[in-house]
Amino acid sequence: MTPNLRTALIFGGFISLIGATFYLIYFRPLMRLEEYHGETEEQAINRAGIVQEDVQPPGLKVWSDPFGRK
């Protein structure tokens, strides 16, 4: 194997690894919004009866939805 081919394979593998990682971190969640968006039934059951203002530490802003729903 020539040194140029080995170098190309090493850099190609590294770039492929970065691309696969970037896909898993960025693009996959964008394509599956239903998994990451909205409140599930389990969350609704767990949060039943909790008033957010009562558990919020004093002086901090109450959490708002990052998706901008109102």
Residue 69: pLDDT above 70?
no
**Residue 29: per-residue pLDDT:** 85
pTM over 0.85: no
pLDDT at 66 over 90: no
Q: 68 near 62, Cβ under 8 Å? A: no
Assigned token pair, 29? 């969640």
Please report which residue ranges of 1-70 form alpha helices under DSSP H. 3-22, 28-31, 33-36, 41-46, 52-55
Please identify which residue in the block is written with the tokens 């008033």.
Answer: 51
What percent of the chain shows pLDDT beyond 90? 34
